[in-house]
Amino acid sequence: MADLVRDLTATSGDTAAVIAPFTGELLHDLPLSSVEDVADATAAARVAQAAWWAAGDAHRRRVLLKAHDLLLDRREELLDAVQTETGKTRGQAFEEVFNAAAATRYNALSARRVLRGGRRRGGIPFVISTRVGFTPKGVVGVITPWNYPLSLALMDIAPALAAGNGVVQKADNQGAVSILSARRAFIDAGVPAALWAVVAGEGSVIGNAVVDAGDYVCFTGSTATGRIVAQRAAGRLVGSSMELGGKNPLIVLDDVDPVRAAADAAYACFSAAGQLCVSMERIYVLKGVADAFIPAFADRVKGLALGAAFDYSTDVGSLATAAQLEKVTAHIDDAVAKGATLLAGGKARPDLGPYFVEPTVFTDVTSDMRCAAEETFGPVVEVRVVDSEDAAIAAANASEYGLNASVLGRSRARARAVASRLRAGSVNVNEGYRATFGSVDAPMGGVMWSGIGRRNGPEGLLRFVETRTIAGATGLLQLPRTGAEFSKLVGPMLLLLRILKGLRRR
Ligand code: NAD
């Protein structure tokens, strides 16, 4: 790890202490970047980007597919880095490596097809010929949080590189080594080091510098910071995508197998100890199944193996930082003090590690409690019984957020019908988040407070290019330039419009 941190572009001389969540011990003093480092990294990325774009899509595809293989070959090293920095379980770290590799493969193989460009219909058939092409934005500024350092980075960086861009990434201090470890795989596969620079430091200083330097900005983090970053990017008239917070609802329909639904719901809520933008914090269960589901869910949660282990022996890991512990315990204490009923968990577990908190299930949550509408971003979920499907949908949609949602039901057709009425960028059926999050060919993102723009799929690639239309006169007919010429052609042109509409020709 000490070796990897040298790959940061960071010459300020300042450092930040990074604590390992499993032990509470100092992991390393992370070198921090200066504003000049960001400017230098951007200038170097611009030079590297010109050559990367000129090398052509076959070259980019070959290099990125090689990077995919190296990510898989080096998975154990990556899993260790992710667990050490974030405190998540081996299984949830594996989801990250899987996702990072899938995003790399998808974009390597899709860029050529999605960004091929080509002919479009001319404004006047035969008289105008029109083509559309794409060129890279240039250097993309990417700002990532600590919770999913690998997958969130590569869901932006793999398409940015595949589309021919350079990248300057501001890593969160708590996830920098995982990112640098993945970046090494890309460099060893043939990505020039300067093409993807990583900087670290205070968000309001180094994050701002990245926003000020990029030709496009990808931000993943909280809604509060996203508002600042989006406005700053807009002030420079550069585009941005914002992947922000959520308060995600899960609906349990009354035709489920309650034990199976309990197991699915528990994973959906407590993966990465709830520190996952798409994990569930609100459960609405239909009254017909509530008496069977709620105890089965509480039992399942109480049975989850909580602990620090660099193997697959645990189900739930640690919170990542002292700040996370403080926020999560504040939400739990507030709910308990205001009369919520605790069905499972509710306690910090310093015997397991400094930041462990038990997966916690509440009922009787009222709107004055912090965990009712605010994103906890931790292992805390509310269960509420609802009278009908309509009531479940109304409760699920009663949020300022709209990132992810889930519906559990035996009848897939019924569950899909409910899913189609939920206000969220993604909805999973009989899964919590992996069905949509892992579908790299389908767009992912949020509505309302949960963000702007989409990653993954063709939409995720098209963020990173400028569209250029080139159209010209074929010479078959001279367009009018003088009053006399117009007076001759107005009649035929009106007729043409009517014919085009009559033929339903776009
Ligand atoms: P955060 O907003 O505090 O920080 C995210 C990143 O932004 C960090 O790298 C931080 O240093 C940087 N930053 C902070 N202030 C900045 C500024 N003024 N200008 C530029 N950059 C700045 O979020 P966090 O606590 O690290 O992450 C948790 C949040 O992220 C949760 O709300 C979670 O839901 C959200 N999240 C969303 C997604 C998604 O895909 N929608 C994914 C993961 C996390």
Structure tokens at 235: 């002030």
421 secondary structure, DSSP code = T
Q: What is the pLDDT of residue 1?
A: 72
Structure tokens at 109: 């193989």
Q: What is the pLDDT of residue 293?
A: 98
Question: Which residues have CB under 8 Å from 299's CB, separation 6+?
Answer: 262
CA atoms within 13 A on the CB side of 309: 10
Phi, psi torsion values for 174, nearest 5 degrees = -80, -10
Angstrom distance (rounded) from CA 216 to CA 433: 28
How remote is the CA of residue 338 from the centroid of ligand 1, in Å? 29
- Whether 32 lines ligand 1, by a CB cut-off of 6 Å, is no
Pocket test for ligand 1, best of 85, 178, 225, 436 (most atoms within 8 A of CB): 225
SS3 assignment, position 55: coil
How remote is the CA of residue 152 from the centroid of ligand 1, in Å? 11
Left, alpha or beta for 272 (phi > 0: left; psi -120 to 50: alpha)? left
246-257 residue pLDDT tens: 999 999 999 999
Q: What is the pLDDT of residue 3?
A: 87
How remote is the CA of residue 266 from the centroid of ligand 1, in Å? 25
The closest residue, in CA terms, to atom 16 on ligand 1 is 203
Phi, psi torsion values for 39, nearest 5 degrees = -65, -45
Strand partners, 473: 128
Give the other-Cβ count within 10 Å of 156's Cβ: 29
Q: Is 277 a catalytic residue?
A: yes
Indicate the pairing of strand 26-31 with strand 118-120.
unpaired
348 secondary structure, DSSP code = B
The closest residue, in CA terms, to atom 9 on ligand 1 is 172
Structure tokens at 185: 């795989």
Angstrom distance (rounded) from CA 95 to CA 378: 18
Each of the 506 residues of the chain gets a pLDDT tens digit; together they read: 768 999 999 999 999 999 999 999 999 999 999 999 999 999 999 999 999 999 999 999 999 999 999 999 999 999 999 999 999 999 999 999 999 999 999 999 999 999 999 999 999 999 999 999 999 999 999 999 999 999 999 999 999 999 999 999 999 999 999 999 999 999 999 999 999 999 999 999 999 999 999 999 999 999 999 999 999 999 999 999 999 999 999 999 999 999 999 999 999 999 999 999 999 999 999 999 999 999 999 999 999 999 999 999 999 999 999 999 999 999 999 999 999 999 999 999 999 999 999 999 999 999 999 999 999 999 999 999 999 999 999 999 999 999 999 999 999 999 999 999 999 999 999 999 999 999 999 999 999 999 999 999 999 999 999 999 999 999 999 999 999 999 999 999 999 999 999 999 98
SS3 assignment, position 149: helix
- Whether 155 lines ligand 1, by a CB cut-off of 6 Å, is no
SS3 assignment, position 18: strand
Angstrom distance (rounded) from CA 119 to CA 467: 13
- Whether 170 lines ligand 1, by a CB cut-off of 6 Å, is yes
- Whether 244 lines ligand 1, by a CB cut-off of 6 Å, is yes
441 secondary structure, DSSP code = T
Amino acid identity, position 56: G
115 secondary structure, DSSP code = T
**What is the secondary structure of 289-328 as a DSSP string?**
HHHHHHHHHHHHHHTS-B---SSTT-SB---SSHHHHHHH
Q: What is the pLDDT of residue 7?
A: 96
Structure tokens at 289: 């199944």
Indicate which atom in ligand 1 lies nearest the CA of residue 223.
32
SS3 assignment, position 92: helix
How remote is the CA of residue 244 from the centroid of ligand 1, in Å? 7
Q: What is the pLDDT of residue 489?
A: 95
Structure tokens at 32: 């921090």
- Strand (E) or helix (H) holding 41: helix 35-54
Exactly one of 95, 96, 243, 375 is catalytic; which is it?
Answer: 243
- Whether 359 lines ligand 1, by a CB cut-off of 6 Å, is no
Q: Is 358 a catalytic residue?
A: no
How remote is the CA of residue 452 from the centroid of ligand 1, in Å? 14
How remote is the CA of residue 90 from the centroid of ligand 1, in Å? 23
